[in-house]
Amino acid sequence: MLRLILEIVPHGKEEDKKKIGEMVIINDSTGDNIIGNYIYEIKDINGTILHKGHYKGFLRIKGAWSLIQNIFKSMHNLSNK
Q: How many CB atoms lie within 10 A of CB 67?
A: 19
Work out the burial of residue 37: count CB atoms within 10 Å of its CB; fewer than 13 is exposed, 13-18 middle, 19 or more buried.
Answer: middle
pLDDT for 81 equals 54
Question: 6-22 pLDDT, tens per residue?
Answer: 999 999 999 999 999 99
pTM to 2 decimal places: 0.87
Question: 32-81 pLDDT, tens per residue?
Answer: 999 999 999 999 999 999 999 999 999 999 999 999 999 999 988 766 55
Q: What is the DSSP string of the chain?
A: -EEEEEEE-GGG-GGG-EEEEEEEEEE-S-S-SSEEEEEEEEEETTS-EEEEEEEEEEEGGG-HHHHHHHHHHHHHHHHT-
